[in-house]
Amino acid sequence: MDGFPKEAVDSVRARAREVGEELRRRLAKPGGSPPVCKTLYARTGKEADELSFEPDSIITITEVRPSGMWMIGTLEGKEGHVPASYVVILD
């Protein structure tokens, strides 16, 4: 994240890790349904395994990557990686 203040970058990363950890907890609950997130921003996937989406898209999360910064989810029948910093968890 070149060009951004270190404090801003650290804040975004910390929030992404918090989202990832909460989603990991929800996925670990036995018998629970997969967590659902709403996207905050538009994003075009940069790699073939990344989802593209518009703001307010609803993504069902199926896995959280070990770093907690990326998740795997489904949107409109497509599966791919989603950055944790782009979503909020819906209850």
Which H helix or E strand runs over 59? strand 58-64
Q: What is the pLDDT of residues 44-80, one digit of tens each?
A: 999 999 999 999 999 999 999 998 899 999 999 999 9
Residue 91 burial (10 A CB sphere; 0-12, 13-18, 19+): exposed
pLDDT at 2: 67
pLDDT at 32: 84
Give the global pTM: 0.89
Q: How confident is the model at residue 1 (pLDDT cuts 50, 70, 90)?
A: low
